[in-house]
Amino acid sequence: MATDLKFEYLREKALSREIPDDAPAPTLELDSLDTLWLQVTGTLCNLACLHCFISCGPKNDSHDMMELSTVDDALEWARDYGVKEYYFTGGEPFMHPEIKTMIRRTLDQGPLSILTNGLLIDDEMAGWLADTFESSRYSLDLRVSLDGTTPEENDALRGRGTFEKIITSIERLWDHGINPVVTVTTQHAGAGGEAKRREFFEFVRSRGIDKPRLKFLSPFKIGREERRDRGYEDHERLVEGDLGDTGGEHLQCSSCRMVTSEGVFPCPILIEEEDARMGDTLEDGMESIDLDHPACYTCHVDGVTCTT
């Protein structure tokens, strides 16, 4: 509750300020590289969700699948910089033909979370993931996206018939001994409120998962979500002074970087923003960043973090 009140205060403060047109954005230093994201399948996905902030889909190849050698290079850099945890995302990570090798090699270095829609996790893959989880010295977490407690809610965003397939994958993982994190974006009315969150917990519990793990994420008004709903308004941006006493330590980009086939970016949100590219290697990504994209506003006022 205290955290909710904190970010409600930040939202009210942001809405009440006056912003000069020439006000500069805050600059954020990288405190430490704790978290490394890998866009293993680039922007290729087996779904084309209407609220996807980077417009992933079967025909989006703006970021190619990462070569295994590129992932190995990133892991080597990460060792040198003392990275503590890893995330795989896409697109849909389980579309990568070498995903198992990538998972094993990453788990040799640290904890790994995989963001997935779950549709490609069949019984064989669920069993392999469970065995890998049991034998690894580090933790393996699965985050499965679901956007409603009914087919009508979920399928309106993720596509016809996806609700039952996602639920089946969640139950399959649970049956194999993995308790996935069900990730919910709050596009639907009330989805970020206490009543809807309680409804989600009870729904997941009703499917036989007696210890539900859920994560709720605010939408970013870019990519397909901008076309589905709306883009950012002029006041929805950060300027110097907005970060206040926190100095931006609550923002995930103060301790993470994203690697794709196209280079290094500050975070998973901005890989389609050409100006956000920092360079070819993690060394290039150790620089400070300007929080000059409207998506930075969402992270600040809603306390968004893509980590589990």
Please state, in angstroms and rounded to a whole number, the distance separating the CA atoms of residues 215 and 197. 9
Enumerate long-range contacts of 305-308, CB under 8 Å, 24 or more apart.
305/252, 306/37, 306/87, 306/115, 306/217, 306/252, 306/267, 306/268, 306/269, 307/35, 307/85, 307/87, 307/113, 307/252, 307/256, 308/113, 308/141, 308/143, 308/181, 308/215
Please state, in angstroms and rounded to a whole number, the distance separating the CA atoms of residues 308 and 268. 13
Q: Is the pLDDT of residue 61 over 90?
A: yes
Does the residue 8 lie in any domain?
Answer: no
Please state, in angstroms and rounded to a whole number, the distance separating the CA atoms of residues 179 and 139. 12
Does the residue 26 lie in any domain?
Answer: no
φ, ψ for residue 148, nearest 5 deg: 165, 160
Does the residue 18 lie in any domain?
Answer: no
Amino acid 1: pLDDT: 42
Q: How confident is the model at residue 110 (pLDDT cuts 50, 70, 90)?
A: very high
Please state, in angstroms and rounded to a whole number, the distance separating the CA atoms of residues 92 and 110. 21
The vertex-96 CA angle with 92 and 102, nearest 5°, equals 110
Q: Is the pLDDT of residue 20 over 70?
A: yes
Global pTM reads 0.93
Does the residue 67 lie in any domain?
Answer: yes
Please state, in angstroms and rounded to a whole number, the distance separating the CA atoms of residues 252 and 44. 24
Amino acid 22: pLDDT: 85
What mean pLDDT value characterizes the chain?
93
Does the residue 293 lie in any domain?
Answer: yes
Q: Is the pLDDT of residue 167 over 70?
A: yes
Does the residue 20 lie in any domain?
Answer: no
Q: Is the pLDDT of residue 4 over 70?
A: no
Amino acid 11: pLDDT: 54
| 99-107 helix and 123-135 helix, angle to the nearest 10 degrees | 20
DSSP H or E segment with residue 169: helix 162-175
What is the pLDDT averaged over residues 267-278?
A: 95
Structural domains counted in the chain: 1
Amino acid 189: pLDDT: 59
User: CATH number for the domain including 230?
Assistant: 3.20.20.70
Percent residues over pLDDT 90 in the chain: 85
Q: How confident is the model at residue 269 (pLDDT cuts 50, 70, 90)?
A: very high
pLDDT in tens, 40-57: 999 999 999 999 999 999
Q: Is the pLDDT of residue 12 over 70?
A: no
Amino acid 246: pLDDT: 72
Q: Is the pLDDT of residue 137 over 50?
A: yes
Does the residue 13 lie in any domain?
Answer: no
What is the pLDDT averaged over residues 278-282?
A: 95
Amino acid 82: pLDDT: 96
Amino acid 2: pLDDT: 41
Q: CB-based burial of residue 190 (10 Å sphere; 0-12 exposed, 13-18 middle, 19+ buried)?
A: exposed
State which residues form the domain around 147: 31-302
